[in-house]
Amino acid sequence: MAQPITENSAPGGPSAPRPGTPLLSLRIVTATARRVLTQLRNDRRTVALLVVVPSVLMVLINQMLDSRPDFDRVGLSLLGVFPFTMMFLVTSVAMLRERTSGTLERLLTTPMSKLDLLAGYGLAFTVAAAAQALVACATAYWLLGLYTPGSAWLVVTVALVSAALGMALGLLGSAFATSEFQAVQFMPALVMPQILLGGLFVPREQMANWLYAVSSALPMTYGIEALGEVGKTALITAKLVRDVGIMLAATIITLCLAAATLRRRTGPPSAAARRARRVAPVAVMLVSALVMADYGWANRMYVWTDNAQIDALKIPLVAPATGTLFDWHATQGVHLRANQIVGYVKARSGAIQTIIRAPSTSTVVHNNVVSGMFVTAGAQLAVAYDLTDVYVTARIDETDIGGVRPGQPVDITVDAYPGRTFTGLVWQVQNSTAELFSARRHDTSTGVTQKLIQRIPVKIAIVTAPDTRLIPGMNVTVKIHKR
């Protein structure tokens, strides 16, 4: 309940705090949070929207995507998008009710500070977001089999930060609406651009430079990328910490802007609010049209894939005969010359010694044996690569291979060297799919087959890569220019 107006209350505005009053009152914060949670608990439809709907949507998406890697990627990103969207929607409507019902007016005539009010709302919706994130993650991991190298608790943490960001934007957006319908209208203006440009549907690397710059300025982009880091590695990387830090900073800034709107207001909306309501739908439609146009233009001009690695000529060193290996010095990291003697194989009788020579100039990257071991003819003793002539092997979807021709220029980015782009040329398009000679075929003896998109290996020569050490197996992203 709102406290009565005291003698310290300023007419027409919030009261000044009494001398000695703490900036943040734990009692007022918990009371505000309890009131908001009670309102949410009594609204069953809101509870269903927060807790049940995200899990149902995850199940539907799992059924739509019959490929496990696709669901792992999309489902993981949605675990951050759902709290962000739901918290924006619920917070904007709830705060608008506070404004239009007069509750906010009464609260601001009491000794309650703006920080108390915002902290109370933040605490309440953090509890609601935690419940939503836990239920959605439990559904994704236990029921749908979502796999991430990183811990599920990291996913929950990023989801909570995303929810806090959505809550802050909802508090800010409610200041520019006069009805619940108008509050919902701000969802496309403040939420949809962040989802469209965050890399969920179109990889950011495929966007035009100006759209990439816009997406870099949107905080939810870093939430999607933080979840992507959890999906790549079990480590808490510097990039993950940076992305979460950026989201927290954006949340604090947005809360400060929202606090500036917490003031007593009478009469019709201001001219700025009316302009914002008129401009918002047009801005959303414009951003959506630009994203779709950019995506269509990129599809016409480029073939893009991140299913690519640095590669080189593989040179296996095999045993020429059966016997005991001795004088073996083709250890890992050793540089070999063509026809160089790397060891001997002595037959059991001890009378015959077979020389082992390096087939060509190369560098040993993996060694399987040591002197004194018994080896059989044809056994692989070590693996070497010709590191003087590395190239890229990209696996292009069969639906895109029609636009790939030898000689086309290629933009190459290596994960080990972020921020640097190398140039290359399409060298060779393989005349078979990557799966044709794979040990794992999807043929079935029952005649029931699962149609999967096949990928065709494409060799790309690296034209310029100054001052870099490229090692076979490094992850690469390529963008092939069709024209």
Question: Do 344 and 255 sit in the same domain of this protein?
Answer: no
Does 217 fall in a domain?
A: yes
239, 267, 295 - which closes a domain: 267
Question: Do 263 and 318 sit in the same domain of this protein?
Answer: no
Report the number of distinct structural domains present in the chain: 2
217: containing domain = 26-267
Question: Do 255 and 381 sit in the same domain of this protein?
Answer: no
Question: Do 240 and 339 sit in the same domain of this protein?
Answer: no
336, 355, 385 - which closes a domain: 385
Does 284 fall in a domain?
A: no
Does 303 fall in a domain?
A: no
Distance from C-alpha of 216 to C-alpha of 407, rounded to nearest angstrom: 33
Distance from C-alpha of 471 to C-alpha of 54, rounded to nearest angstrom: 42
Question: Do 59 and 177 sit in the same domain of this protein?
Answer: yes
Question: Do 227 and 320 sit in the same domain of this protein?
Answer: no
Is the Cβ–Cβ distance between 354 and 323 less than 8 Å? yes
340, 361, 385 - which closes a domain: 385
| Count of residues making up the chain | 483
What the block records as the tokens of 333 is 């990291």
Q: For residue 462, what are the β-bridge partners? A: 424
Question: Do 187 and 100 sit in the same domain of this protein?
Answer: yes
- Whole-prediction pTM value? 0.56
Distance from C-alpha of 359 to C-alpha of 316, rounded to nearest angstrom: 8
Does 167 fall in a domain?
A: yes
Question: Do 180 and 323 sit in the same domain of this protein?
Answer: no
Distance from C-alpha of 466 to C-alpha of 468, rounded to nearest angstrom: 6
Torsion of CA 173, 174, 175, 177, to 10 degrees: 100
Question: Do 233 and 331 sit in the same domain of this protein?
Answer: no
What the block records as the tokens of 284 is 């959303």
User: How big is the chain by its Cα radius of gyration, in Å?
Assistant: 30
Does 153 fall in a domain?
A: yes
Q: What CATH code is carried by the domain that includes residue 374?
A: 2.40.50.100
Question: Do 78 and 144 sit in the same domain of this protein?
Answer: yes
Question: Do 229 and 92 sit in the same domain of this protein?
Answer: yes
Is the Cβ–Cβ distance between 184 and 45 less than 8 Å? no
Question: Do 141 and 215 sit in the same domain of this protein?
Answer: yes
Does 288 fall in a domain?
A: no
Q: What is the pLDDT along the chain (483 residues), one digit of tens a residue?
A: 333 333 333 444 444 444 545 556 777 778 878 887 887 777 778 777 778 888 888 888 888 876 566 777 788 888 888 888 888 888 887 777 776 666 666 666 666 666 777 778 778 888 888 888 888 888 888 888 888 888 888 888 898 888 888 888 887 877 776 677 767 777 777 788 888 888 877 777 767 777 777 888 888 888 888 888 888 888 888 888 888 999 898 888 888 777 776 654 445 555 665 665 566 566 656 766 766 676 667 667 888 888 899 999 999 999 988 888 988 988 888 999 999 999 999 887 666 788 899 998 999 999 999 988 999 988 999 999 988 889 999 998 888 888 888 999 999 989 888 778 889 999 999 887 766 655 455 554 444 445 677 888 999 999 887 778 888 999 998 989 987
Does 253 fall in a domain?
A: yes
